[in-house]
Every structure is written in C-alpha cells, then in structure tokens.
A and B are shown apart, each in its own frame.
Chain A
C-alpha cells in the first residue's frame, strides 16, 4: 500500500507514524469512508514491520473512531469519519501550505529549515520561549 511508509529510525514509534499516515490518507481523500484497509499480515510483509505494531495502530485508530475493525472481515474506514467538508478544508489548506513553501524556497530558505520552522511554530517554541506541548513523542504520547 503506497500510502503507508513508516520510517523505523525516525525515533517516532512506528504505530504512531502509521496512525498519522492513515489519518492523512483519509484527509486527502486517498482513503474514503467504508473503504477497506490492508490486512495486518499482508501489510506487515509488505512494509517489513512487526504485525503486532500494525495491530496496535489499527486498535488505536479504532479507539479514536477513525476505523472499524469487523470480526473476520478486516479494517474499514469508519463511515462518518471525515465529511466532504473536512476533506475540502484540508485540500484547500494544502494549497496554502504549498504556496507558503514556494514563497520560502524563493527566498532561499532550505527544505530542512522550512521543516524546522513549521515544527517550531506548531510546538509554540517561537512564541512563548518554551514549547506549549513539546513536539513529536511528548505531544503525541497517550498517558
């Protein structure tokens, strides 16, 4: 499945990366309500990651109401998980992000610098002098 491609050595747990990638695929419309996700075993073999890790990502996505696990049938995108409006909003924002990134590149800012600027902005470091919620692991970890 082309949509999912975790990076094992990024430091971010693989199940969290998979969850984010599924959510993103739904937001961009690459996965739609009611569509089936790949089975745990074939996906584990394709991505060469632990099947328990994929099962964990699916369980957490189900817990968040994003997908439904149907006994014996597999995993499906939940029916009302994303309205068309949500998808449109994300698609429209994608254009705004693309424009911003283009603008920054034209000013000679490198991709790495852009990435760090976005991360810092989202974690609130640039405004408060300290992260409101630290990024990546701390921000996403469930207690």
Chain B
C-alpha cells in the first residue's frame, strides 16, 4: 500500500459561534485504504467532512485532499471533481425516476462508469422506471451510493452510509465499498457508529473526540496495542496500580481484577505477575472496547 496521504489535516480548528467543533485535528488517511471515522455525536465528524469537501471553512489550520488545499477556490474545484460524497441525508431529486436521475447526474461527469452503472442498477435492484419519491430509506442509500460509485472518483467520502439500514442492505453497501477499493484502487473514508462494520471492512481507523483525534492508525496496529488481562486471586484481590507507561484501566470485583491496557506487552505482564494471582488470562479486545476507552463518556 502506498504511503501517500489522500486526506491530511494539520492543526485544524473550527469554531461555530461559541462552540469549538474542531480543536487542532491532525488526520491522515493513506491512499488505497478504507478508513473508518468514528466518534460520538457532536465529536466533529461531520464538521471535518464539510471542511474536506470545501462546504465549510476552517477557522485555523490546513486541510489537504490529494495534497490540494480544500480552502483555496481553484484547488477546491479540482478536489470536488475527484471526490464523491454520500451525505447522511442522501439528498436526491424527488421528482425524478431512478433512470432520469442517473442520466442527469451522468451528464456532469466525463469519467462516468457505464459498467458500474449497469452492475449496481442490477446488484442493488434499482429499476430505472421507479420514482425516487417512493423509495425506502435503504433504496435511497443505494441510489445515492450508485451515483457516487459511477463518477469514477478517486476518493469516496460517506457520512454514516449504513445508518438505519437493515443488516442485508448494510451488507450490500459494505460489499460495494470493498469492491470499489479492490477494483479501482480508490480510497474510502466513511463515518459510522456501527463498530462491527468498521471492524469488518476498514484497515484504518480514526477516532475523534471533542474535536481532536484520539486514536488513529492501521486497525491491526491499534488492536495489537490493547489487551484485556484478567487476574483471579484466592482471596480478596489486592489494590493494583500499573506503573508501565501507557493508560490502563483497572477494575476490581471481589477476587477478580480486570485490566484494560493500551500498552500491551511484557512490562505489564511482569508487573501483574508480581501480585501472584492464581490465574492470569489475556484476551483480545474489540473495537467497541477501544472506542469506549478512548472517548469521554460523561456528558
């Protein structure tokens, strides 16, 4: 995989009236990746996407897509030509049929992919004569995704593409994203609250919290850092403090201590062995564990 960053933000700030939506965001999305963009509601995901698309201007800092500044008007035109976007509203022209909408959209894009159009009209079961107005939420999403996929864009940005879709619809959408990256060597950047979907298709993740990036990197690397260690003692568990560098959350319940560590390795294991537990169990953690550990959960 190439090391080129398709998206890069450097110390990005965005203030809306009294609210700092972004507070020094440093984001980097490598070319050819599927990057899952995670965060609680209001963490700054949609603001980031708007800045990247030139729909909103940063108060401070730099946002680059393909190395071009999103804020600069002429570069912005080039960026918008090479980027396809599916918003969470899936805005479509309600008075058109699917066929009319495809023909209309196609006329704007010289690199339109007829092969993908045919493929996804069939795969998504989108019949050209159907009116947009009567489509279910899932079908609207598929129609919006079809338009984005066929544009021949190098970067596809999606804001919660599978929100409110049933599992079968969601799987269709994920499969289309996987195929897109495999076929076209393109990059996908998508925000989501569906952590299991992100685990399934993303190779990179970025977790944003309160306008700052708190976790970022290759999913396998991020995962390898975290571990859950469970210690069982014969009698009441002692009070344990882990001194190894990195963050560790220690929970004590009677004879059992559970440690979620963000710096898995020999140092932590050596420390906990010193307390002489009757058993030690180490298990991998899910993305959900990592997410909950990384973001502020009190409001």
Interface residues of A (CB under 8 A from B): 8-15, 40-41, 44-45, 48-53, 56, 120, 123, 125-126, 129-131, 134-138, 141
Cβ of B91 under 8 Å from chain A: no
Residues 167-188 of B, flagged 1 when their CB comes within 8 A of A and 0 if not, give 0000100110011011100000
How would you classify the secondary structure of chain A's contact residues: helix, strand, loop or mixed? Answer: helix
Shortest distance between the CB of A6 and any CB in chain B (Å):
9
Question: Which among B181, B201, B227, B288 has the greatest number of chain A C-beta atoms within 10 A?
Answer: B201
Kindly identify which residue among A11, A52, A125 contacts B203, using a CB–CB cutoff of 8 Å.
Answer: A52
Residue on A nearest B179 in the bound complex, by CB: A45
Residues 264-299 of B, flagged 1 when their CB comes within 8 A of A and 0 if not, give 100001000100111111111111110000000000
Q: If the complex has contacts A49-B200, A137-B264, are A13 and B223 also in contact, measured as CB distance less than 8 A? A: yes
Q: In the complex, which residues 57-107 of chain B have their Cβ closer than 8 Å to any Cβ of chain A?
A: none
Is the beta-carbon distance between B284 and A137 smaller than 8 angstroms?
Answer: yes
Is the beta-carbon distance between A136 and B284 smaller than 8 angstroms?
Answer: yes
Cβ of B32 under 8 Å from chain A: yes
Question: Which among A9, A11, A129, A141 has the greatest number of chain B C-beta atoms within 10 A?
Answer: A11
Residues of A within 8 A of B273 (CB): 130
Shortest distance between the CB of A129 and any CB in chain B (Å):
6
Cβ of B25 under 8 Å from chain A: no
Is the beta-carbon distance between A137 and B223 smaller than 8 angstroms?
Answer: yes
Question: Can you name 9 A-B pairs with beta carbons within 8 Å?
Answer: A9-B195, A9-B199, A14-B199, A50-B34, A52-B32, A125-B279, A131-B282, A135-B282, A137-B227
Shortest distance between the CB of B123 and any CB in chain A (Å):
11
Is the beta-carbon distance between A10 and B284 smaller than 8 angstroms?
Answer: yes
Q: In the complex, which residues 175-226 of chain B have their Cβ closer than 8 Å to any Cβ of chain A?
A: 175, 178-179, 181-183, 195-196, 199-203, 219-220, 223-224
Kindly identify which residue among B34, B171, B200, B286 contacts A11, using a CB–CB cutoff of 8 Å.
Answer: B286
Is the beta-carbon distance between A44 and B178 smaller than 8 angstroms?
Answer: yes
Q: If the complex has contacts A11-B285, A130-B280, are A50 and B196 also in contact, measured as CB distance less than 8 A? A: no
Q: In the complex, which residues 222-280 of chain B have their Cβ closer than 8 Å to any Cβ of chain A?
A: 223-224, 227, 264, 269, 273, 276-280
> When chains A and B are docked, how far (Å) is the Cα of A98 from the Cα of B277?
32
Residues of A within 8 A of B287 (CB): 9
Is the beta-carbon distance between B201 and A48 smaller than 8 angstroms?
Answer: yes
Shortest distance between the CB of A12 and any CB in chain B (Å):
5
